[in-house]
A and B are shown apart, each in its own frame.
Chain A
Amino acid sequence: MKKKWIAVLLTLAMTGSMAACGSGSGAKSGSGDKDEAKEQTVELWTCWTDGADTAKAGEEQIKKFEEQTGIKVNQTNFTYDMLHEKILTAAAGGNVPDLIWGLPEYIGEFYNMGILEDLTERFNDWEDKDALSEAVVKAMTIDDKIVGIPYEMTVRAYLTHTEDLKAAGIEVPKTWEDLLSNGGYYEKNGKYLTELACTGVRSAQELLVYLAQYDLEIASAQDDGKYKNTWKDNDEEMEKATKVFQMYQDLVDKKIIDENCKNWGWEETDENFATGITSTYVTGNWLAERETSNPDTMEDVAVSAIPYPSDGHQATYMECKPLFILADSKNKDAAFELATDMCSKEWQEAGFPDRSPRSDVSTDSKWSKDFQALADTGVTFPPVTLGGITQAMQDAIAKVLQEGETPEAAAEWLSDAVNASLSDSGELSE
């Protein structure tokens, strides 16, 4: 008798605890059926800022798209970091959405993981493709395959608080030498002339620009279709790379930038510029948003080209963000339709008026016009797995600014570290 009671109690408890698993498999078959019923559903992952104009326009355009095409769009919003990690985890199990917003940094990585759909044919059949410049299309290409549809493009520019510079009695610095000649700026004006991002994603992007001003590539394509950092094979390149790190060092030594800069990422640097704590900074046109949150300090901002070394040339970072269709998607045609719709003139004008990859979308504001003017000098990351490389770039800056290593040692270390990372991912040219 007793035993029976226990058995009943236990079975109850067990079924209770197992119900989760049981109904789980039930739900599975249910959702499978659903998928078949409404085949045309596109799972879309975005990374917009809730409540910002891009998001509002995006939601509206999605509604329109659904009405016009009958395709249902399941949109979910993330931050880029979250999206990236989720894709990495999800890809291992082959359970991914159809269409995602990406960053240019992901192209090499995702392509090498084999999770991206080759869009070349679809792209060539797309009647609106001529609205994209050659540079933009190139940024979407890896191994001669087009793997992304651009949805946003920005370049970096040198933003200056004109009133600060006027008060200090100086012109907008055009070259590194101009910058470095302002040694007494902090003492005179109580704020630093400029700043650098030395941690986080922005640090690698900024370093890439300064290298590009000397025509240096972090990894160059080789004849065998693979990549390599060639600085160590070439004395001239190594000398230039050393000069770049020397510039970082000099900016700190001469108090042109705050010493604490060595630990800052974009969160600090953008904020400092927007609130007028520093007079100038190299950043993107999203700073336009700060005109509403910091109206007093953002009024006087002017847009110029990024200072370059007098023995080098102008360059900027072109960030062309791709929409990826994932190879495991079951609705590639519908996903492509949504992707091109997002790149259409209407959507771009509504959601990305200042930051469009299309050559026929722009506005008259300085945030659009003055930035566009710099696009020709834009550089991008090489299409390789970048996780280890961008980390190494950040570490190299830290070696100079924090560990007190010489610029030359840092440049050499970076060259080795980049090649080690390429080797890990199987992309190193032998």
Chain B
Amino acid sequence: MKTIKKLTREQRMKRTALFMLAPAIVFLALLIAFPLGKVVHDAFSHVHLINKSMSGFAGVENFKTIVSDEHFGQAVKNTISWTVFSVLGEYVLGMITAVLLNQKFKGRAIFRTCIFIPWLVPIIVAGMTWDWILNPEFGIINYALTSLNIIDAPINFLGDSRYAMATVIFVNIWRSFPYYTISFLSALQSVPGELSEAAAIDGAGIFKRFFCVTLPQLRSVSLVIVFIHIIWTAVNFDFIWVMTEGGPNYATETLPIMIYRYSMKKFDVGAASALSTMMFTIMVILFTVYYHKRSKLSDEMA
């Protein structure tokens, strides 16, 4: 008697759960899973937009094309430094601003709004505006730096391969760090201030309080947000495309830019799909690592 009732209850739960999930699953299956399947399929086929004589099963040839591309190694390096330095910079700035804004003082709301604004700007708008501000001939920054005699000659921030990557990272940090700020801030505010005050009573300095009290509080939210941003940054296409299109001379070409170059400039959809597949696979591996880490963390917390 009891077991039967339990079964039906479980079935009912299952049905409700599936009902609730259905719309999300339909959307994801239609617009993500299905196209993704096509991409993986194309990765192992000859698909060329122009050369129709190329068709059929390709084996791993597309992967070979990609790996033997003379810019592949650099693109991998670029993707890593773009991702690592962006996320690192965003994390540090986000942390500092969150701690600052977590204090009680007049005008806090104004500062908070100002700091959050970059996140509201469309990427293409942000990219083009910075592009102009940083221009060596007409940009206000170069003008200011040269008039103040900080530099002798204007720096071509986005055009010079020595500075281009650093510059796009700088702009990316500008746009993304507010998200960290807000997340950290809300995490900080959900934790009672007594802890920090107690530490202050104990005579702990600002830095000690930060490292011993504040930082541990943010461990969980940090993990989530850093992970999400590693993914988002690594797969980001728009930002670099708007500012440098991967140039100058491939100095800022990351893997998503390379995917685009292969499909839209070289028309080799097969190779583009192969690269996409490789990227996706790496992301999944990263995700697995993260997942383990997170389960461990929540076990500890529980």
Contact = CB atoms under 8 A, between A and B. Distances in A.
A166 interface: no
B22 A14 contact: yes
Interface string A1-33: 001001100100110011000000000000000
A425 B50 contact: yes
B167 to A, nearest CB: 12
A403 B51 CA distance: 32
B136 interface: yes
B145 to A, nearest CB: 15
Nearest to A403: B249
A157 to B, nearest CB: 23
Interface in A90-141: 91-92, 109, 112-114
A268 B137 contact: yes
Nearest to A111: B50
B159 A17 contact: no
Interface residues of B, number: 31
A88 B16 CA distance: 44
Contacts of B54: 426
A112 B50 contact: yes
Given A17-B23, A421-B266, A425-B50, 10 more contacts: A6-B16, A13-B23, A18-B26, A113-B49, A260-B159, A260-B160, A262-B248, A275-B137, A388-B266, A426-B52
Contacts of B135: 268
B248 A109 contact: no
Given A17-B23, A272-B137, A398-B248, A88 B49 contact: yes
Contacts of B247: 199, 263
Nearest to B136: A260
Interface size range on A against B: 35 or more
B19 A109 contact: no
Interface string B9-45: 0001000100110110011000000000000000000
A35 interface: no
Contact of B160 (A3, A17, A263): A263
Nearest to A421: B266
A159 B138 CA distance: 22
B236 interface: no
A406 B221 CA distance: 53
Interface string A361-388: 0000000000000000000000001011
Contact of B12 (A3, A88, A275, A398): A3
Nearest to A92: B49
Interface in B176-217: none
Contacts of A319: none
A398 B20 CA distance: 56
Nearest to B30: A21
Contacts of B103: none
Nearest to B16: A6
B267 interface: yes
Nearest to B251: A402
B23 A387 contact: no
Interface in B128-159: 135-138, 156, 159
B265 A387 contact: yes
Interface of B: 12, 16, 19-20, 22-23, 26-27, 48-54, 135-138, 156, 159-161, 247-249, 264-268
Nearest to B155: A260
Contact of A14 (B23, B160, B249): B23
A271 B137 contact: yes
A188 B12 CA distance: 88
A258 to B, nearest CB: 9
A143 interface: no
A264 interface: yes
A88 B48 CA distance: 12
Interface in A55-83: none
Given A10-B20, A13-B23, A424 B137 contact: no
Interface in A394-422: 395, 398, 402-403, 421
A182 interface: no
Nearest to A385: B50
B15 to A, nearest CB: 8
A233 interface: no
Nearest to B154: A260
A402 B162 CA distance: 10
Given A6-B16, A388-B265, A402 B249 contact: yes
Contacts of B249: 395, 398, 402-403
B80 to A, nearest CB: 22
Contacts of A272: 137
Nearest first, the 8 closest Cβ-Cβ pairs linking A and B are A263-B159, A398-B249, A426-B51, A263-B248, A112-B50, A10-B19, A17-B23, A387-B265
A92 B35 CA distance: 14
